[in-house]
A and B are shown apart, each in its own frame.
Chain A
Amino acid sequence: MSGSPAVVSPGSAAPVSDTDALRRSPRRRSMPSAVLGLIGLLALVALVEILPRIGVLPREFFPTSSEIGSSLADLVGQASFWQAVLDTLYGWALGLAIASVAGIVLGILIGSSRFTREFTASTIEFLRPIPSVALIPIAVLLFGSEIESKLLLVVYASFWQVLIQVLYGVQDIDPIAQDTARAYGLGRWARVRYLTWPTALPYVMTGLRLAAAVALILAVTSELVIGNPGLGKLLATAQSSGAIANTYAIVVVTGILGVLVNLVFRAIERRSLSWHPSQRAELPA
């Protein structure tokens, strides 16, 4: 790897990695990531337009971008579509709210003493990985396609996300701060309000973000499988009635919805943490 005697201009050697290139060459004006991302999305749309046409993807079962686009445009004009969106969002929001409250309350209660933490640890570790889809049969038996069945799934799945994060948060309380609070005679409730809650807040925000994503997935899944009113049900209907472009269009809508939920909750998380000095790494759920 010894260099040749010839003059080498900065940046002309092939970098081992892009980060290497950045460090070896003078600061190059590189394209902002927003532009790059846009290029990527446009390329995807273009691919989906071309591939079915040339037969790489089965034309019969895979519509082009323009077909999906026009289905989407049609959908957007239909009241039933927006009703479905609202139905999905309603179930999502309600389930998320219930799960969050339960998760926060239980999390603080369990996390507040070593005994309760240890005593419940094994149960949590067992119940947590149970796939919420395992609850589908009993949900259907008990509630049919009423909203309760959807809520059962959504709440069960999101609850764990919030609970786990809150438990991490409560455990993160600085013991010195806790002793100080006790020394100043702060009662239990005051301690929770002034010490536990602010410490746990960043974790709660992370938990909410994770829970929001999971809640959406379960809401749509429930609609798809059980038949609660919403986007999932719309999708099932479209697929079974052979409205192929519509099927894809609804899938795109769910994706967009997922992205939006993610963006909103990341923004909320960031805003609520703007005062927070340390960087909270996302503890894997």
Chain B
Amino acid sequence: MLDVRGIKKVYESKDRTVEAVRDLTFTLQAGELACLVGPSGCGKTTLLKIMSGLLDPTAGEVLLEGKRVDGPPPGMAVVFQEYGRSLFPWMTVRENVELPLKQKKLATTRRKELVDESLAAVGLAEAHAAYPWQLSGGMQQRVAIARAVAYEPHVLLMDEPFAAVDAQTRADLEDLIRDLWHRFQVTTLFVTHDIDEAVYLGQRVLILSNSPTVIRDDLAIDLPDERDQLTTRSSPRFAELRARVYEQIHRAKPAAEPVGAGATAVPPSADHGTAEFGA
């Protein structure tokens, strides 16, 4: 579905050249829910912008269903971290969700269907006539998610969408994502800096290195499909996977060789020597 090949991004300014991203290569299969996690400043947002066509890479390419991404492609929806700034403040919730559908030239009845369905799916059916600034942060982000879902995208990219939201709301929203994913079967790439969140949500976790960024690891998450904040997070398997991710991210040495596409399975009770359990 989504093919990322050899993405490289170099920023040049008057005094210095910064290689933000060195080489990112991976593939998302249709219907997958994958998480991308990495240390701060490792270029997660840069990668997401390149994947969504908002930014051009210095080298490499992104293919969406076989076609090269050059500018934001139709069929891809993005949910940004700054929910307050991604909703149009002069439009009501309903109008916000409907806007991309109007752009797609869908019929009025179909649009209404989609809007109603997606607002109901995120639990905001009664708020459809409100303005975004009348809603709480969590609700605003739900609107942004509803908008993305109503668009019926082939790929959904989410850029640390819950980073600016309080912990309790974050837990609710995480479950919402999994619900929506189950329901609509959209290929989703979820970028986050929160390791727990990545392991909880994803079928697969891609771990980025420090800048210049490459993929350090590509982990299959073999937790059960039915997940739950309480039980899943306290399961031993969760702890193991989490530890593995943590260890990869917090290793001191910068990335040298990228890991190729394809998930690495972690054997259930492997002991990698000093597994770190950390904060």
Residues of A near any B CB (own CB < 8 A): 1-5, 8, 10-11, 13, 23-27
Contact = CB atoms under 8 A, between A and B. Distances in A.
Given A1-B73, A2-B73, A25 B56 contact: yes
Contacts of B10: 26
Given A5-B68, A26-B10, 12 more contacts: A1-B73, A2-B64, A3-B69, A8-B68, A10-B57, A10-B58, A13-B70, A13-B71, A23-B54, A24-B56, A24-B71, A26-B58
Contacts of B184: none
Q: Which of A3, A24, A25 is packed against the most chain B CB atoms within 10 Å?
A: A3
Contacts of A1: 71-74
Contacts of B277: none
Contacts of A27: 11-13
Contact of B70 (A3, A25, A26): A3
A10 B69 CA distance: 12
Contacts of B71: 1, 3, 13, 24
Contacts of B70: 3-4, 8, 13
21 contacts: A1-B71, A1-B72, A1-B73, A1-B74, A2-B68, A2-B73, A3-B68, A3-B70, A4-B70, A8-B70, A10-B57, A10-B58, A23-B49, A23-B55, A24-B56, A24-B71, A26-B10, A26-B11, A26-B12, A26-B58, A27-B12
Contacts of A26: 10-12, 56, 58
Interface residues of B, number: 19
A94 to B, nearest CB: 45
Nearest to B9: A26
Main secondary structure of the interface of A (DSSP, over half): loop
Contacts of A8: 56, 68, 70
A26 B18 CA distance: 12
Contacts of B13: 27
Given A8-B68, A26-B11, A27-B11, A3 B55 contact: no
Nearest to A5: B68
Contacts of B54: 23-24
A3 B53 CA distance: 10
Interface in B41-92: 49, 54-58, 64, 67-74
B9 to A, nearest CB: 8
B268 to A, nearest CB: 43
Given A10-B58, A24-B54, A26-B11, A5 B72 contact: no
Contacts of A25: 56
A21 to B, nearest CB: 10
A231 B10 CA distance: 56
B74 to A, nearest CB: 6
**Which of A1, A2, A11, A13 counts the most B-chain CB atoms under 10 A from its CB?**
A2
Contacts of B73: 1-3
A12 to B, nearest CB: 9
Nearest to A14: B71
Contacts of B68: 2-5, 8
B56 A2 contact: no
A109 B71 CA distance: 58
A25 B70 CA distance: 11
A2 B56 CA distance: 14
Given A26-B10, A26-B12, A27-B11, A5 B67 contact: yes
A-B interface, 3 closest residue pairs, ranked by CB to CB distance from nearest: A3-B70, A10-B56, A3-B68
B55 A2 contact: no
Contacts of A4: 68, 70
Interface in B10-24: 10-13
A2 B69 CA distance: 6
Given A3-B67, A3-B69, A24 B74 contact: no
B131 to A, nearest CB: 21
A2 B58 contact: no
Given A11-B56, A24-B54, A2 B74 contact: yes
A11 B12 CA distance: 14
Nearest to B68: A3
Contacts of B74: 1-2
Nearest to B58: A26
Contacts of B67: 2-3, 5
Nearest to A15: B71
Nearest to A8: B70
B49 to A, nearest CB: 8
B33 to A, nearest CB: 24
